[in-house]
Amino acid sequence: MNKKVIQVEERPSILETIPLSIQHLFAMFSASVLVPNLLGINPAVVLFMNGLGTLFYFWVTKRKAPAFLGSSFAFIGPASIIIATQGLGYQYALGGFVVNGALLCIIAIIIKFVGTKWIDVILPPAAMGSVVMLIGLELAGNAAKQGGLILTETYTQLDPKMIIVFLITLGIAVFGNVLFRGFFSLIPILVAIVCGYIAAACFGMVDFTPVKEASWFALPNFQLAKFNLNAIMIIMPATLVVVSEHIGHQIVTGKIVGRDILKEPGLHRTLFGDGFSTMVSGFVGSVPTTTYGENIGVMAMTGVYSTFVIAGAGCLSLALAFLGKVAALITTIPDPVMGGVSFLLYGMIATSGVRLLVDQNVDYSRSRNLVMTSVVLVTGLSGAFIRMGDIKMTGMSLGACVAMLMGLIFFIIDKLHIANDYTNDSETEE
């Protein structure tokens, strides 16, 4: 029995949209709030701009590119350096965010005129599929850490309670996705989180203190950006990371929904929406935004691609910026619960990469396909990194850059006709 699919332009009823939107909200919440917590700023302003940015993104993309814009992790390192620099501070990091967002908008305008055929050249299917796989695989370790399966500075020994809650949440998400029927088949993540939360509460793992201390109504703490050339230069290298991440997310989203998002509504629109959201976020005191892998995973798992549903999650994020107790309640969801659902969601993203390789009939008897996928995967998963100033490029971002470089080199080799037959490439093409 095939799962019901709610396509991009479809609008579910309000009774269906609310729980579906809450599901997306829960999926993005812990990661998106973690960024402002690490930078020492008020999460309310971030929730506000995440919601506003998502709604603006849908307007720019004509509601044809489903994505939730959450807090970007690419800027944590350079922003922390700016904050710690004497004479600067977070407001100067905001200036860097503004310039970065403006640069993304400029790149989007350039793409508008030059098109996206260059992506087919530098990211052939063998490279594209492996980059998509990396989006999920490099996050898998985070899910395992949240679930208590890996020892960390926070969890110095395995806790049976954490593992049990993790397994309960993961089990409900897995079997719910297979066995649930009707509307419940569309919200297995939400059901898994609720059941995992109840299990965690029974084990005494839920601390309601933040809810008691939070006020019912709170205003986001907006602050204005300040500009400094040194701070801007510290932030600038992150642009390459964001662009490669954005292209990868659009590719995997397009594969999931069965549409070429790079062509319609177009990479120029999606990148402009992301860049403008980042620019405005910097002006008012928030963090840069980016399309979120967690929400891509929700779409892959549930078959619900409706932009109205994700826009609903954006509206809920806006509301949470003012509802202190509700936002605090969501923060009490224990790590093993989010680790349980993330464990599956990240795997779904990686599987989308495998699906892309299969659908594109990538022939691994061809040497170039074999070596390209091999090198990209090992680069992304090995922990290798390149440091550009204060930016550390690793994982999917580094893997994507290596994939593009290899794709370009192979393209030049073909054009110059200097290559020997890659295991009968010419015969295969004929």
pLDDT tens profile 31-78: 888 888 888 888 899 999 999 999 999 999 999 999 999 998 888 878
Return the SS3 of 71.
strand
- The one-letter code for the residue type at 283 is F
The confidence score (pLDDT) of residue 62 equals 93
What per-residue confidence (pLDDT) applies to 430? 41
Residues linked to residue 396 through DSSP beta bridges, in sequence order = none
In a domain, 213, yes or no: yes
- DSSP helix/strand/coil, 207: coil
Name the domain count of the chain. 1
pTM (whole model) above 0.75? yes
Q: For residue 205, what are its two tokens?
A: 């793992």
pLDDT-derived band at 23 (thresholds 50, 70, 90) equals very high
Per-residue pLDDT at 81 exceeds 90: no
Q: Is 52 buried (19+), middle (13-18) or exposed (0-12) by CB count in 10 A? A: buried
Residue 189: left if φ>0, alpha if ψ -120 to 50, beta else—which one?
A: alpha
Segment of 3-17, 91-105, 144-158, 320-334 carrying the highest mean pLDDT: 91-105
pLDDT of residue 236: 84
Confidence of residue 418 (pLDDT cuts 50, 70, 90): low
Is residue 422 pLDDT above 60, yes or no? no
Kindly state the DSSP code that residue 219 receives in the 8-state scheme: -
Percent with pLDDT over 90 in the chain: 44
Q: What is the mean pLDDT of residues 8-36?
A: 90
pLDDT tens digits, one per residue of 185-223: 888 889 999 999 999 999 999 989 988 888 888 888 889
Within-domain flag for 167: yes
Asked if the structure places residue 410 within a domain, the reply is no
Confidence at residue 51, expressed as pLDDT on a 0 to 100 scale: 95
Q: State how far the Cα of 269 lies from the Cα of 274, in Å rounded to an integer.
A: 9
Report the helix count and the strand count for the chain, using DSSP H and E.
Answer: 19, 4
User: Does residue 426 carry a pLDDT above 50?
Assistant: no
DSSP-derived letter for residue 170 is H
Q: Is there a contact between 392 and 131 (Cβ–Cβ < 8 Å)?
A: no
348 Rama sector, left if φ>0, alpha if ψ -120 to 50, beta otherwise: alpha
290 in Cβ contact with 246 (< 8 Å):
yes
310 in any annotated domain: yes
- C-alpha 101/C-alpha 95 separation (Å) is 10
The answer to whether position 194 is within a domain reads yes
DSSP conformation letters of 277-324: HHHHHHHHT---EEE-HHHHHHHHHH-B--HHHHHHHHHHHHHHTTBH
pLDDT in tens, 320-374: 999 888 888 888 889 899 889 889 988 888 888 898 899 888 999 989 999 999 9
**Beta-carbon neighbour count of residue 183 at 10 Å?**
13
Per the domain annotation, does 390 fall within a domain?
Answer: no
Is residue 413 very low, low, confident or very high in pLDDT (cuts 50, 70, 90)?
confident
Contacts of 76 (CB under 8 A, 6+ apart): 35, 38, 39
Looking at the domain assignment, is residue 234 inside a domain?
Answer: yes
DSSP annotation of 388 reads: E
pLDDT band at 420 (very low <50, low <70, confident <90, very high): low
Token couple for 82: 């700016």
pLDDT at res. 419:
55
Which residues form the domain of 92? Answer: 14-117+148-333
State the pLDDT at residue 398: 86
Residue 249 has pLDDT above 80, yes or no: yes
Location of structure tokens 């940015």: 53
Q: Quick count: other Cβ atoms within 10 Å of Cβ 212?
A: 9
Q: How many whole angstroms separate alpha carbon 196 and alpha carbon 200?
A: 6
Residue 179 lies in a domain: yes
* Cβ-based neighbours of 328, under 8 Å, separated by 6 or more: 210, 211, 213, 214
